[in-house]
Amino acid sequence: MSGFIPEEKIEEIRATSDIFEVISGYITLNRSGKNYKGLCPFHHEKTPSFIVSSEKQMFHCFGCGQGGNVFSFLMKYENLSFPEAVLSVAKRYGIQIKLTRDDKSEKFVGKKEILYGVNSLANEFFKKTLKETSEGKAALEYLRKRGIEEGSFKDFNIGYALSEWDSLVKYLGRKGYSEEIILESGLAVQRENKSGSYDRFRKRIIFPIFHINGEIIGFGGRNLDDSLPKYINSPETLIYKKGESLYGLHIAKERIKTDNCCIVMEGYVDVVTAHRFGFKNSLASLGTALTEKQLRLIKSLTGNIIFIYDADRAGINAVLRAWEGVLKTGLCGKVVVLPEGDDPDSFLNSKGTEDFKALINSSKDIGEYIIDRSVEGYNLSTTSDRSQALTKVLKVLESVMCILRLADYANYLVSKLGVKEEFLYEAIKYDRKKDITFVPLKEETRKIQLDSLEVHLIQLMLTSKEVATRVFDNISSDDFEVPLLKKIAIEIANSIKSNKEFEPNRIMNIMADEEVNDLISAFLFKSEDWQDIEKAISDCIKQMQKRKAKKTLNNIEDELKLAKGKGDENTLDKLLEQKYKLYTFLKSTKFLEN
């Protein structure tokens, strides 16, 4: 299935990895008995039904039915192909995979892996430039003046891009990357007359943007002077999608989990400074407004989010635009209001940690913050202004579907606008055209209908090689009728024959089929508490044999009818003999009773 990576190597990589370690790099998991539990990243849910088992080295969601091993998780979560998922785990655990020259081609390794390689090399170049060139030293001085020093350079891999037109393009070319790949990485821009390309980032401090898994997916470049644009970012590429990543997430994620809170800021420098002052659960939205995708990334780690945006109009609008997403994801959002003219970087540098903490403690609920902003500028003591303000607020509250939250905001409005509670509720109802009913978000579920006898047999066989061997001593994989289950049965049979260690994870690797992985993990997680496993095995085998014999008997009856119609005496005799033998067998095994 994987082509160039030998099966043994794949199993070695899987066995070396720890599924809990890998998955908890993406979502918050809490211990639950001998397993771990968390909110499923593959469907919307409010109560966790996503289970990870260290013992089985598998995951399974009881809500949507998805499951599998470490590779299946990465394939689903990161949208990777099977070989890409295997390579990603190998890289993480430092396992070398010897690739031949041909294997290094895009067809095998995948374009993504090549682009990660280009970015990582470019970042090394930028870091070296910052430290070792005279131009870089000026940038270093600039950063040091803002208090950004060695520790931050290391944590955030900060670098510098020279003012030359093509220093990076030339460097990457010397390292063997084609112009096409360099262009595709977004690090270079093609000249208008198509005669070659030049560096996108020039004379800028470089902040690499990391994916949550630690790969560099893009870059942000900041000017040293006041020329515009102040910031430029990588364009969208195969690995960098705007609105899908967060700056600083890869280093902030552990603290976000332990603090159960995430602080969102606007700029790269804000985040670097916040970490330097100990607010290591801070990250930046890379663009002004947080998208629903980014909010979901955060929701996988914590339910609490604090916005610290600049106190200007752009900052206020960014919070407004994130509002619906915050409600949709069910995050608890708060907003910190900075003194005018300040950003987190300037505030921290001038006031320090304690004042910043006090600021965070004074944060306001996002809904209340938005209500405040909406009624700003109205003279609430006059009737006409008050009704205009109310209309504006009602518009904002239309997104609130949770009745409890709505009640909270209504209370807040009562105190703010001085309108009577009854009137306010009437206004809300009228605004929602009365017909709205508050339905909690439906949790999606998926059920697969399968033959229970065959399911039980597969479940039993997955428990051990001995059971599987015993089953196949009596029936064959051909006896399975459900195509998906037959596929699994065939692989179990192969696994017994191969004399290798019997391991359901290995079967998953070989098949590398999403549906199969969902099923196998479901079987293992739901594996019945077999009261008497011996009896269960022999019952299932008997049932299968009986089903097969009855089917054969029916076939013979059909053929008999056909032969009778044709008057084919020879065939009739043969069929009658077969029928008699089968009938005797069924009688002797008592299969015909009941």
Nearer to Zn ion, 64 or 461 (CB): 64
* C-beta closer to Zn ion: residue 78 or 559: 78
- 20 or 347, CB closer to Zn ion? 20
* Residue with smaller CB distance to Zn ion, 42 or 198: 42
Beta strands 282-284 and 262-265, pairing class: parallel
Give whichever of 71 and 247 is closer to Zn ion, judged by the CB atom: 71
Of the pair 40, 475, the CB lying nearest Zn ion is at: 40
Measured CA angle at 105 (ends 103, 106), to 5 deg = 125
10 Å CB burial of residue 452 (0-12, 13-18, 19+) is exposed
Q: How far is the CB of 521 from Zn ion (least distance, A)?
A: 12
Mark 551-574 as b/e (b = at least 16 C-beta within 10 Å). eebeebeebbeebeeeeeeeebee
Shortest Å, Cβ 504 to Zn ion: 20
DSSP 44-77: --SS--EEEETTTTEEEETTT--EE-HHHHHHHH
Give bridge partners of residue 221 from the DSSP assignment.
206, 232
499 and 483 Cβ atoms separated by less than 8 Å: no
Chain centre distance of CA 541: 41
- Which residue, 119, 124, 126, 114, is CA-closest to 186? 119
Q: Closer to Zn ion at the Cβ: 41 or 110? A: 41
Six-digit token string for 464: 């051990």
Closest approach, Cβ 39 to Zn ion, in A, equals 9
Angle at 469 between CA 466 and CA 470, to 5 degrees: 85
Q: CA-CA distance, 157 to 144, in Å (whole number)?
A: 15
Please say which residue, 60 or 92, places its beta carbon nearer to Zn ion.
60
What's the length of the chain?
A: 594
Closer CB to Zn ion, 41 or 136, in the complex: 41
| Residues forming the site for Zn ion (CB under 5 A) | 40, 42-43, 61, 63-64
**Residue whose CB is less far from Zn ion, 75 or 87:** 75
What tokens appear for 560 in the block? Answer: 């008999």
Q: How far is the CB of 258 from Zn ion (least distance, A)?
A: 25
The least CB distance from residue 42 to Zn ion, in Å, is 4
Q: Which is nearer to Zn ion, 77 or 160 (CB)?
A: 77
How many helices (DSSP H) and strands (DSSP E) are in the chain?
27, 16
d(C-alpha 490, C-alpha 468), whole Å: 11
- Residue 70 or residue 209: which is nearer to Zn ion going by CB? 70
Output the smallest distance, CB 443 to Zn ion, in A: 9
By beta-carbon proximity to Zn ion, the closer residue of 50 and 156 is 50
Nearest distance in Å: CB 75, Zn ion? 15
The angle subtended at Cα 285 by Cα 282 and Cα 291, nearest 5°, is 125
Residues ≥6 apart with Cβ < 8 Å to 85: 70, 71, 72, 74, 75, 78
Output the smallest distance, CB 44 to Zn ion, in A.
Answer: 9
> Shortest approach of Zn ion to residue 400 CB, angstroms?
26
Q: How far apart are CA 29 and CA 350, in angstroms?
A: 38
User: ∠ CA 234-239-241 to the nearest 5 degrees?
Assistant: 60
Widest pairwise Cα distance in the chain = 106
466, 469, 473, 474 alpha-carbon torsion, rounded to 10°: 80
482-506: b or e for each residue (b if 16 or more CB lie within 10 Å)? Answer: bebbbbbbebbbebbeeeeebbbbb
The CA angle 456-458-459, to the nearest 5 degrees, is 60
